[in-house]
Amino acid sequence: MDIIINIFETMIEFFYSFTGDFGIAIVLLTLGVKLIMLPFSIKQRIAMKKQLAFSKKIEFVKDKYKNNKKKQEDELNKLYLESSKGMLGCLIPILQLPIISGLYMSINSLKVEAMTILIPWAMNIGNADDKFIVPIIYTLITIAPSIISYFRVFGSNEEPASIKTVLPMMILGVVITIKAPIALGIYFITSSVFTLIEDIGFRLYSKNKVFS
């Protein structure tokens, strides 16, 4: 892990050397890492779609052969055998974890006392945002994917998130960033914006596709 952290810290210094702004350097590093991880993230989303389709198949088979337990068991075994071939998608988050953790830790360990053009009201991105604008922005972006599920233009077959689902995310967003350094807040916001754009793009891409 130390190697990954050292690499990211070096990259932050590199971006800072020609931007002269630690905030922009953090954004560039975060976007670079997210772009590299994008193929894995898309595979993870596809795996989740397939898992949803698999669950629906299970329910269909159980309902169709509810009066024929032997046939039901045979069909379910076939489905489980097919599903086991796609288990790699479930391991993707584990493969991404060291990189994501390294990026977080490298930014969290930054000892900077500087301003950034991105957060003009803050004198030092090494401190928390006393105006609480960064936590609010991060929270709104975090819950945005849940909100867009209500818009059928994205062709989502999933049920829109309820307020009971969104509320914990809002509280968590505030808790995470309210005491965190602004530098870390910039990372969270950049990462969340990228994820939101990725989510919208994937929804449009998968609108008329069948995953099985």
Taking only the tens place, the pLDDT of each residue in 11-36 is 888 999 989 899 999 999 999 999 98
**Torsions phi, psi for 90 (to 5 deg):** -75, -20
More confident call, 98 vs 10: 10
Rounded CA gap, 65 and 76, in Å?
A: 10
The pTM score is 0.79
142 closest CA partner among 106, 167, 109, 114? 167
More confident call, 212 vs 108: 108
Q: What is the mean pLDDT of residues 37-41?
A: 86
Domain regions of the chain by residue span: 2-205
Q: Say if residues 115 and 125 touch (Cβ distance below 8 Å).
A: yes
Task: Locate 7 and state its tokens.
Answer: 């690499």
What average pLDDT does the chain have? 78
